[in-house]
Amino acid sequence: MPISGKQLIAGKWLEGRSGTFNGVNPATGEDLEPQFTCADEFQVAEAVSAASECFTAFANTTPQQRADFLNACADEIMALGDELLERVSAETGYPRGRAEGERGRTCGQLRLFADWIVDGEYLDARIDTAMPERQPLPRPDLRSFNQALGPVAVFGASNFPLAFSVAGGDTAAAFAAGCPVIVKGHNSHPGTSELVAQAIDKAVQKCGLPGGVFSLIMGAGKTVGAALVQAPGIKAVGFTGSTAGGTALFKLANERPEPIPVFAEMGSINPVVLLPEALKNSAESIAAGFVGSLTLGTGQFCVNPGLVLAVEGDGLEQFIAATGEALAKVGAGVMLNKNTRQGYQSGVAKLRDQAGVEQVAAGEAAGEDGGFTCQAGLLTVCAKDFLANRELQEEVFGPMSLVVKCRDRAELLQAIQSLQGQLTGTLQCSESELASYGDLVELLRQRVGRIVVNGFPTGVEVCHSMMHGGPFPAATDARFTSVGTMSIARFVRPICFQNYPQSLLPDALKDSNPLEIPRLVNGEKSRAAL
């Protein structure tokens, strides 16, 4: 089916009733065909009501049925073939390799979650058997497991048109949990969004699921997005994007008559700490790796290294010089859209205006030919000025980083202590100096979701142990991640059955353990039947 510009509402492709817009090719600034329609609030309500209606049916599918569905989504996304890759590139400016890589990541994620839910560990099934003879009171039979939370609203991110968008991590996690999903597609890649929605729609049909399991809504964030988060039928929100956007949704969700959890993965400047020995021994190779991480995807990653912290000295000067040389060879990258470029330019201008900030390196200047290109760069500031100015901790989304020069170790500690919550914290160090910087590591650990040693923060592996989140404002709740199998926990809640008849218990809790899942039986983990 060619891209229609329509909404997908519970299995039906419908014209939006609230205006139109076009995708834009960021490399040229030109409109892409076809035109897209915007949903109105009634269409949002329709999607939510369909999701609520089919919630129980979807929540009660077996893990295997949901796994089949997740795999079918991956199959159908692959079946879109070149059309999808071309549309991704046209809408984002990403080279085909990136589009292909991200497609692989997206489908791999769906398939990993499929395997994982069949394993059943995520259900956290627990059985405490009855003790009818216990004194002074008998213990009843108690059994609990994780059930789906309810319909989930997902907000696609601009910078991952596949992996954090329509069939991205949030959607995969919600489907895995058994929650219907309504995606508010990002206006920056509407064609990509529709193509992926077509694939999910096919998977829904192939698996015989109700249409309400998935809807794609396009439109203005402030009206459609707000209506979605405020709809009583929505029970959780997944969001990846700016701090302003995430905190606005968080506020809306908390102010509902029935507040609901929002997992918003938001801003981060991802500090990279360069310790003295590492700088002394390998300033140049660190600089090479750093520039690669800083300019990857034109710096449009939430784990982009926007801050470098080190004690001043020859090593740091060498790092800055090498970074400058490498940056000078970096072409003007294409940013995702006009707003992103504008945000980058004004963010950089604001940073440059702050007391003590100096620009020490730059890449190729941005072009003037209509495409949304931008110039990479490096800034420096002394720790004293950094400590005095919270604005230097504001994320500038794009390939710009700020080096904080500290007088000594004490000032370096102070600078780390001043940091807000972050997705990641990186240490470049020798093993022996890492051991001797325990105090610094502790400060960093309290402020981040992931610690990277002798690497760079970009490259967020989808696996069991990934933590992609962190203390506010990295995310709205540091106890959850939006990447990896742990992310399913955002969309489930435990329910307990007391003295429930065997034959009517959910399969996960039956004595016979028909799902063959691991369960905690009277405190011991086992896959055995009772």
Q: List binders of its own copies among 476-515 (CB under 8 A).
A: 476-479, 481, 486, 489-490, 492-501, 503-504
Instruction: Tell whether residue 132 is a contact of its own copies (CB under 8 A).
Output: no
Contacts to its own copies from residues 16-35, by CB under 8 A: none
The binder of its own copies chosen from 132, 133, 258, 353 (CB under 8 A): 258
Altogether, the residues listed in the chain come to a count of 530
Number of residues that bind its own copies (CB under 8 A): 81
**In this structure, what is the dihedral angle of CA atoms 427, 433, 439, 442, given to the nearest 10 degrees?**
40
Token pair belonging to 172: 């995969």
Residues 165-204 vs its own copies: string with x where CB under 8 A? ----------------------------------------
Only segment of 10-18, 69-77, 338-346, 454-462 that touches its own copies (CB under 8 A): 454-462
287, 278 contact by CB (below 8 A): no
Near its own copies by CB under 8 A: residue from 212, 421, 422, 440: 421
Among 9, 44, 48, 55, the residue binding its own copies under the rule CB under 8 A is 55
CB 257 within 8 A of CB 237: no
Using CB under 8 A, which of 64, 342, 464, 512 touches its own copies? 464
- Give yes or no: 302 in active site: yes
Q: Is residue 467 part of the contact set for its own copies (CB under 8 A)?
A: yes
Helix axes 190-206, 82-92, angle to 10 degrees: 150
Q: Select from 142, 362, 387, 413 the one that contacts its own copies (CB under 8 A).
A: 142
Query: What is the C-alpha to C-alpha distance for residues 17 and 148, in angstroms, rounded to an integer?
Result: 32
The minimum distance between CB 204 and its own copies, in angstroms, equals 21
149 near its own copies, rule: CB under 8 A: yes
CB 77, min distance to its own copies, A: 19
Positions 290 through 349 that interact with its own copies (CB under 8 A) = none
Q: Is 299 strand, coil or helix?
A: helix
* Residue of the chain from 453, 511, 512, 528 that contacts its own copies (CB under 8 A): 453
Q: Is 442 labeled as catalytic in the residue annotation?
A: no
Question: Can you name the residues that pair with 453 across neighbouring β-strands?
Answer: 427
- Report the number of secondary-structure helices (H) and strands (E) in the chain: 15, 23
DSSP of 391-428, one letter per residue? GGGS---SSEEEEEEESSHHHHHHHHHT---EEEEEEE
Q: How far apart are CA 295 and CA 326, in angstroms?
A: 11
Q: Which of 19, 370, 459, 514 binds its own copies (CB under 8 A)?
A: 459
User: Which residues 150-169 are close enough to bind its own copies by CB under 8 A?
Assistant: 150
Stretch that binds its own copies, among 7-15, 76-84, 138-146, 221-229 (CB under 8 A): 138-146
With 0-12 / 13-18 / 19 or more C-beta atoms within 10 angstroms meaning exposed / middle / buried, residue 135 is exposed
Nearest one of 11, 43, 8 to 223, comparing CA atoms: 43
Taking the C-alpha atoms of 495, 501, 504 and 505 in order, what is their torsion angle to the nearest 10 degrees?
Answer: 30
Choose one: 19-27, 160-168, 194-202, 520-528; the region binding its own copies (CB under 8 A): 520-528
CB of 382 to its own copies, least distance (A): 26
Catalytic residues: 265, 302
